[in-house]
Amino acid sequence: MAALKEKRTCGQRCEDFGRFVWNSDNGTSFGRTPEKWVYISLYYAAFYVVMTGLFSLAIWTLMYTLDPYTPDYQDRLPSPGVMVWPDKYDEEHIVITYNSSDKASWSKMSSCLHNFLGQYNDTLQKDCDHNCTKGKYFMQDKFLPGTHTKESCSFSVSQLGNCSGLHDPTFGYNSDMPCVIIKMNRIINYRPSQNNTQDIQVNCTVLEGVENVKKIEYFPENALMDRSYFPYYGKLAQPDYLNPLVAVRISLTGKRSAKFQCRVVADKITYENIHDPYEGKVVFTLQNLHVPSKPSSVHHHSSAL
């Protein structure tokens, strides 16, 4: 025991380790002879092959039981999230800051929106609106014959009116009237309201800096997300589905900075979850860094137009 208790010096430890790596007395390396190493490696190889096989079998069984159209559970998606574009963040919060007098600055915003709206290009979408009845949930119990898909109502950019980018490719970012676009996340088989009568509407309120907001306009009219876009039937059933959007044009004034909360209002959409700030609503700050003297602002504005 005494020898075990002696504090070994570093040299002795290294020597011991050296002997462990290669012991010439009994021809062992790392505690085993090469032959023994082969055996143990084979054993472990076999063990892991079998285990991987069992694991693959388990995953295969799992995949076999899954329905490709709808997920088994949607426990974590009780209510859809809402997001605003341009999706510009500072550290934690959405802060859409631009300088209307600096082209490099505002074109970032407008190109972001162009990007975002790219998929909504009217020409890309098939015309399949014949079954879409505005104001009613588009319930489809059966798949379309042949393609085994379901129809989706098209959403064209033109519905966003002044914020469609069709007339004003800057989306107002070269002025004090920028557009932001609100999108609600899609969830399979989700209907935002109990019945067919209540509207699904976007409602933006100013949280801070009311005095800096002159006007809030919504596109389409009444800030509606039409019920015919719901429910969503999944990627496989509705490969062409596009979320309905609502554009909000905000007229800034004064210090040209304000904080907004845009909510999608419907009775089944919750928005007060403190752990998920994007559930049913989105909060963002809009700020135009350019605060000009009055005449130059007018001049600038008119020249841009």
Partner 1 sequence: MTQKDNYDMFEMDGDGKGKKSKKEKKKERLEGMKKEMDIDDHEITIEELEMRYDTSIKKGLTSSFASQVLERDGPNALRPPKGTPEYVKFARQLAGGLQCLMWVAASICFIAFGIELARGNLASFDNLYLAITLISVVVVTGCFGYYQEFKSTNIIASFKNLVPQQALVIRDGQKNQINAVDLVVGDLVEIKGGDGVPADIRIIFAQGCKVDNSSLTGESEPQSKTPECTHENPLETRNIAFFSTTCLEGVANGIVINTGDRTIIGRIASLASGVGNEKTPIAIEIEHFVDIIASLAIAFGFTFFVVAMFIGYEFLEAMIFFMAIVVAYVPEGLLATVTVCLSLTAKRLARKNCVVKNLEAVETLGSTSVICSDKTGTLTQNRMTVAHLWFDNHVHAADTTEDQSGQSFDQSSETWRALARIAGLCNRAVFRPDQEGLPVPRRLVVGDASETALLKFTELTIGNIMVYRDRFNKVVEVPFNSTNKFQLSVHELEDPMDLRYLLVMKGAPERILERCSTILIKGQELPMDEHFKESFQTAQMDLGGLGERVLGFCYVYLNEKEFPRGYNFDSDEMNFTTSDLCFAGLISMIDPPRATVPDAVMKCRTAGIRVVMVTGDHPITARAIAANVGIISEGSETVEDIAIRKRIPVEQVNKSDARACVINGGQLKDMSSEDLDEALRSHPEMVFARTSPQQKLIIVESCQRLGSIVAVTGDGVNDSPALKKADIGIAMGIAGSDAAKNAADMILLDDNFASIVTGVEQGRLIFDNLKKSIAYTLTKNIPELTPYLIYITVSVPLPLGCITILFIELATDIYPSVSLAYEKAESDIMNLKPRNPRRDRLVNEALAAYSYFQIGAIQSFAGFTDYFSAMAQEGWYPLMCVGLRAHWENVHLQDMQDSYGQEWTFGQRLYQQYTCYTVFFVSIEICQISDVLIRKTRRLSVFQQGFFRNKVLVSAIVFQLLLGNLLCYCPGMPNIFNFMPIRVQWWFVPVPYGILIFVYDEIRKLGVRRNPGSWWDKELYY
Binding site for partner 1 (CB under 8 A): 1-6, 9, 12, 31, 36, 39-40, 43-44, 47-48, 51, 54-55, 58-59, 62-63, 66, 69-77, 80-83, 87, 89, 92, 183, 185-188, 232, 234-236, 238, 241, 243, 273, 275-279, 282
Which positions ≥6 away from 1 have C-beta within 8 Å?
none
Q: Of 107 and 185, which has the nearer Cβ to partner 1?
A: 185
Neighbours of 217 (CB within 10 A): 17
Q: How many residues does the chain have?
A: 305
Minimal distance in Å, beta carbon 85 to partner 1? 10
> In angstroms, rounded to a whole number, what is the distance separating the alpha carbons of residues 131 and 6?
88
Q: Which two tokens stand for residue 262?
A: 């845009």
Q: Of 76 and 126, which has the nearer Cβ to partner 1?
A: 76
Q: Are strands 94-98 and 281-288 parallel, antiparallel or unpaired?
A: parallel
Minimal distance in Å, beta carbon 222 to partner 1? 24
Q: Name residue, tokens 């700050």.
A: 285
Angle at 119 between CA 227 and CA 248, to 5 degrees: 60
**263 strand-pairing partners:** 203, 281
For residue 13, with 0-12 CB atoms within 10 Å meaning exposed, 13-18 middle and 19 or more buried, which class applies?
exposed
Q: Of 119 and 296, which has the nearer Cβ to partner 1?
A: 119
Q: Of 25 and 221, which has the nearer Cβ to partner 1?
A: 25
Q: Of 160 and 242, which has the nearer Cβ to partner 1?
A: 242
β-sheet with 200-208: strand ranges across = 94-98, 281-288, 257-265, 200-208, 224-225
> In angstroms, rounded to a whole number, what is the distance separating the alpha carbons of residues 102 and 114?
18
Q: Which residues of 150-182 are buried (b: 16+ CB within 10 A; e: fewer)?
A: bbbbbbbbebbbbbbbeebebbbbbbbbbbbbb
Minimal distance in Å, beta carbon 212 to partner 1? 25
Minimal distance in Å, beta carbon 263 to partner 1? 14
Q: Which two tokens stand for residue 32?
A: 């085993």
Q: Of 68 and 135, which has the nearer Cβ to partner 1?
A: 68
Q: Of 135 and 239, which has the nearer Cβ to partner 1?
A: 239
Minimal distance in Å, beta carbon 21 to partner 1? 13
